[in-house]
């Protein structure tokens, strides 16, 4: 699909980003656009471009500036803050405003978070958590959050184009609902905290979900990857560590196995415990079974949880298509 600079400026307020995306357009799929967007944002847009994009966002809880560059961006900002505003009280909005001001004074740019689907209390918690960070760390955090927002808005952009192209169809309302559902799914993937089923919760742990979770989004379809096998393993060989240069010699021990549900979420891959055992973990996705004609027989992600992180939550999502994949650590 083809778009112009104005369209991409609505997705990200950096002029450099919009220009580069317009030059790379048209894109055959949303996945292609997201892949290109990530490359441009992290490799071509400089510090000034990042700050320009940050400045395009209103503070959480406030309306967009009358001097905004894009009417579409302003409308999307309002929509992305719907949950926050709906769950806000007078006191929570005042507290949020105070913390926004503290953040701005310390870092020099607006507190940035992909707010879609987040309550005011969740946003406040994240703001307070990030406030002690060093400026260089927080600058990177803001850039990552901007990318999440950009991906969500690219999905909206593609859905809008798809709706316009489908106006001749006899079931326009059904198509509109489908497009909205796709945006909602992608937005949930990027922002929403996981909710474990009631029968999976522990009676003795303060957690409400296992320390390690995942879910899979099929970006080629803009929908969850339903029915994909997932397994979690831990490295238990105390005599060695898995590395790039050595062959695995039976050190991996299964922790749990599950299949993604209708929302693309795996079932419980490990027990719900307050403190996860520090160590090296591997989470593997049976992408070959899910997509027999794809490029990847399976995808495995290896990561290490350190002693100081054992009380944290590790969400390892997979954005997958038959010929590419990406991941990041969520919260």
Annotated binding site: 215, 265, 328
Which of these is catalytic: 39, 48, 57, 313?
Answer: 57
Taking the CB of residue 225, how many other CB atoms lie within 10 A of it? 23
CA distance 122 to 119: 5
111: helix, strand or coil: coil
39 catalytic per annotation: no
Catalogue the E-assigned strands of the chain: 212-213, 216-218, 223-224, 229-235, 252-259, 279-285, 299-305, 314-315, 318-321, 324-327
Helical residues (DSSP H) of 110-171, grouped into ranges? 120-130, 135-165
Which residues are annotated binding-site positions for substrate?
A: 215, 265, 328
**Burial profile 250-288: b = 16 or more Cβ within 10 angstroms, e = fewer:** ebbeebbebebeebbbbbbbbebeeebeeebbbbbbbbe
169 Ramachandran zone, left/alpha/beta (phi>0; psi -120 to 50): beta
Residues marked active site are found at 57
């Amino acid at each position: 699909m083809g778009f112009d600079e104005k369209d991409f400026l609505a997705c990200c307020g950096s002029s450099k980003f919009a220009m580069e995306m317009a030059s790379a357009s048209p894109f055959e799929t949303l996945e292609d656009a997201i892949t290109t967007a990530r490359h441009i944002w992290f490799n071509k847009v400089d510090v000034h471009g990042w700050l320009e994009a940050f400045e395009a966002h209103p503070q959480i809880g406030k309306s967009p500036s009358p001097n905004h560059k894009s009417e579409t961006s302003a409308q999307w900002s309002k929509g992305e803050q719907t949950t926050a505003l709906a769950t806000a009280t007078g006191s929570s909005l005042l507290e949020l405003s105070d913390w926004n001001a503290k953040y701005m004074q310390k870092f020099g740019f607006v507190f940035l978070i992909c707010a879609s689907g987040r309550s005011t209390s969740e946003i406040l918690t994240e703001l307070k958590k990030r406030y002690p960070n060093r400026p260089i760390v927080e600058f990177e955090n803001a850039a990552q959050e901007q990318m999440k927002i950009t991906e969500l808005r690219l999905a909206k952009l593609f859905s809008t184009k798809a709706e316009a192209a489908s106006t001749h169809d006899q079931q326009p309302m059904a198509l509109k609902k489908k497009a909205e559902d796709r945006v909602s799914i992608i937005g949930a993937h990027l922002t929403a905290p996981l909710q474990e089923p009631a029968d999976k919760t522990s009676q003795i742990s303060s957690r409400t979900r296992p320390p390690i979770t995942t879910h899979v989004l099929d970006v080629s379809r803009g929908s969850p990857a339903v029915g994909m096998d997932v397994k979690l393993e831990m490295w238990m060989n105390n005599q060695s560590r898995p590395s790039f240069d050595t062959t695995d010699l039976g050190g991996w021990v299964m922790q749990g196995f599950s299949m993604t549900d209708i929302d693309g979420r795996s079932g419980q891959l490990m027990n719900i415990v307050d403190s996860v055992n520090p160590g090296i973990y591997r989470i593997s996705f049976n992408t070959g079974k899910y997509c027999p004609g794809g490029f990847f027989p399976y995808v495995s992600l290896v990561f290490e949880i350190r002693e100081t992180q054992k009380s944290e939550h590790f969400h390892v999502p997979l954005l997958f298509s038959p010929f590419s994949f990406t991941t990041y650590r969520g919260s």
